[in-house]
Chains A and B, each alone.
Chain A
């Protein structure tokens, strides 16, 4: 589904990311871990063609992301608050995303119904702009919006940060179900090794922009990761 070939990114001569080769097959739940500044967000931004690669290319289902816009219909993401439109209410925002992905208003209402529990009554029908919601609630709205329109690839940067424990557990269930039952390719990054090992089948650790570990999840994975980061 996603092919990374010789991708690198440098800012003013300083290399922040260098990945010779990485392939993520369809339906895989892929976790990216690393310390601050390791290059997680840089990689995701490259996947979404938000920054220009210094070399190499990324293909998404055969489409080179920096050459064509054709990958957009099946790819969705929530990276940070700049993916929210602050002056809309949550509903208006969902409808807007729905419009962009060819999902009608009624279908959106149907789609949102199962999330009532996830939203905990703090997002829908609040008569509040998104910019006035708390950080956690903004994140919930952003994550759910990224699920609209049955995307084949979902990219989430730090989805567990700022969420309360109940929501974290619900989100983990949701992500697992999406990848197992609907063959959605899920890419998440996190600082929390537990969450990542919980959700993902494959975990990649990066450090200074380079891949240090590439693990299929087993019983020993968490331990191995903890040892890697304990220095």
Chain B
């Protein structure tokens, strides 16, 4: 029976539309997969020695334990956005003579085969090896490893429970924020709490029963939930959410583009996929922390400029690159209703630019790293609004991959709405700022570089109308192709 299921699964995989995409994408995806796997593995090997080097007086295992609590929360948040629930087309199976519980066990079992369960193995197994090599107790380390694996597996199932309910999700987000704040101001030392929870997993071997118990519990909860769903009502009867209608009247000030903006707000708020993208966009805000906190980059302005572009460009990059795919589900309506292309594109530009402005405001705390850093971010923001926004929209004219709004993108299968053209179009977004910054910078110094960067942005804003005309023409030209591509499902 399982073999039959696997056969179905394979057909679904190999015949799905994203698999039929170009060879380039497949290679890129495989490359990314190997890259991230290698990263996790190398981290596992290196972790012990890096901590030993950085904090010679601390036991690396204690140090790790003090952060495992945060790992759990972060892991859950990431899983929530990227891990797909085990979905199988069970409607046709319902009338066939197959035991329900078999299907449910299969569904749950299948979910274990996910990158999110692979990377802990890639990280913790080498780490355990290194620990044993460095004369930690063999048995203790193995029990500890098993413990961690069980916890990670439990997270896999806890994620499903969270997924069914937004309140769970928001409470976890709130928990993370509170934990960080409380920890930062040292009201409660969560690192100490984390150590107290996780270090005993190494020292006390009987603790093994706790994760086993946890795993069995969450598995049972999921099992009975899915079994309950295993009826026509649960599967065929669509669950519909109760809708809160908001008027969004504050958007009326934007005149003719207001209806589109309202739509986009609702689109982002009410669909899984754009929310996922928005979340990624917000993460870009923290991109600067990687660069600004490290001294090696302090005098390398040309590296920091990258960070400057990314900090405010998160929404632009993640959301913008999928224009007009966001409207692919109802593109025929948009093309036959009383909508001039110009207005449609204008509203998208406004949305992207607003995202940049909000990010610029939110990135004010970067002043902490010096006004120079913020000046770079600010210049980057102007460039994003005045230049990158147009490049993004222009690239959209060549983007013909439909997006299903209410379906999550899978990790490493995120080819929906992504293609090589998109990638090539993305390059100028990175290269152009470097060029307009670097040339004046090389001859006249930092200030000139920033003026070059911001100036290009201002120029773009001044030339907005002719640029938008050009973009509009490009969209017009590709109209039929886009409509045809979007109606392929």
Interface bits B310-353 vs A (CB < 8 Å: 1, else 0): 00000000000000000001111101111111000000000000
Q: State how many angstroms separate the Cβ of A129 from the closest Cβ of chain B.
A: 6
Complex Cα distance, B263 from A97, in Å, reads: 11
Closest to A99 in B: B259
Contact (A129, B333) CB under 8 Å given A82-B487, A87-B405, A88-B263: no
B335 near A49: Cβ-Cβ < 8 Å: yes
Chain B residues in 8 Å Cβ range of A131 = 406
Which residues from 60 to 80 on chain A have a C-beta closer than 8 Å to any C-beta of chain B?
69, 72-73, 75-77, 79-80
- The 9 closest A-B CB pairs, nearest first, are A132-B240, A99-B259, A87-B270, A48-B336, A83-B333, A52-B480, A82-B332, A72-B338, A127-B243
Total A-B pairs in contact (CB under 8 Å)? 88
Contact (A129, B330) CB under 8 Å given A51-B480, A72-B337, A72-B339: no
5 contacts between A and B (CB under 8 A): A75-B336, A83-B333, A84-B333, A85-B263, A129-B243
Closest to A44 in B: B336
Interface residues contributed by chain B, number (CB under 8 Å) = 32
A129 near B270: Cβ-Cβ < 8 Å: yes
Asked if A161 is an interface residue, CB under 8 A from chain B, the answer is no
Asked if B434 is an interface residue, CB under 8 A from chain A, the answer is no
Interface bits A101-135 vs B (CB < 8 Å: 1, else 0): 10000000000000000000000000111011000
Chain A residues in 8 Å Cβ range of B425 = none
Chain B residues in 8 Å Cβ range of A50 = 332, 335-336, 480, 483
Complex Cα distance, B266 from A131, in Å, reads: 14
Chain A residues in 8 Å Cβ range of B245 = 89, 91-92, 127
Asked if A136 is an interface residue, CB under 8 A from chain B, the answer is no
| Contact among A49, A87, A91 with B267 in the assembled complex (CB-CB below 8 Å) | A87
Asked if B238 is an interface residue, CB under 8 A from chain A, the answer is yes
Closest to A66 in B: B480
B333 near A85: Cβ-Cβ < 8 Å: yes
A69 near B238: Cβ-Cβ < 8 Å: no
Chain A residues in 8 Å Cβ range of B480 = 50-52
Which residues from 240 to 261 on chain B have a C-beta closer than 8 Å to any C-beta of chain A?
240-243, 245, 258-259
Asked if A86 is an interface residue, CB under 8 A from chain B, the answer is yes
Chain A residues in 8 Å Cβ range of B337 = 72, 76, 97, 100-101
Q: State how many angstroms separate the Cβ of B475 from the closest Cβ of chain A.
A: 12
Complex Cα distance, B339 from A116, in Å, reads: 28
Closest to A98 in B: B259
Chain A residues in 8 Å Cβ range of B258 = 99
Known A50-B483, A101-B338; further 10 A-B contacts with Cβ < 8 A = A48-B336, A50-B335, A76-B337, A79-B332, A82-B332, A86-B329, A87-B406, A100-B339, A129-B243, A149-B338
Interface bits B162-189 vs A (CB < 8 Å: 1, else 0): 0000000000000000000000000000
B336 near A132: Cβ-Cβ < 8 Å: no
Interface residues contributed by chain A, number (CB under 8 Å) = 34
Closest to B268 in A: A87
Closest to A89 in B: B243
A49 near B336: Cβ-Cβ < 8 Å: yes
Among B245, B333, B406, the most chain A Cβ lie within 10 Å of the Cβ of B333
Chain B residues in 8 Å Cβ range of A91 = 245
Complex Cα distance, B340 from A72, in Å, reads: 9
Complex Cα distance, B332 from A82, in Å, reads: 6
Complex Cα distance, B480 from A94, in Å, reads: 26
Complex Cα distance, B238 from A78, in Å, reads: 24
Chain B residues in 8 Å Cβ range of A72 = 336-339
B271 near A82: Cβ-Cβ < 8 Å: no
Contact (A87, B335) CB under 8 Å given A82-B330, A127-B242: no
B330 near A83: Cβ-Cβ < 8 Å: yes
Q: State how many angstroms separate the Cβ of B238 from the closest Cβ of chain A.
A: 6
Chain B residues in 8 Å Cβ range of A48 = 332, 335-336
Asked if B484 is an interface residue, CB under 8 A from chain A, the answer is yes
Closest to A85 in B: B330
Chain B residues in 8 Å Cβ range of A77 = 336
Complex Cα distance, B243 from A129, in Å, reads: 7
Complex Cα distance, B245 from A52, in Å, reads: 38
Q: State how many angstroms separate the Cβ of A225 from the closest Cβ of chain B.
A: 29
Closest to B476 in A: A69
Closest to B270 in A: A87
A132 near B330: Cβ-Cβ < 8 Å: no
Complex Cα distance, B246 from A91, in Å, reads: 12
Complex Cα distance, B342 from A69, in Å, reads: 11
Closest to B336 in A: A48
Contact (A87, B240) CB under 8 Å given A79-B332, A96-B259: no
Complex Cα distance, B243 from A91, in Å, reads: 12
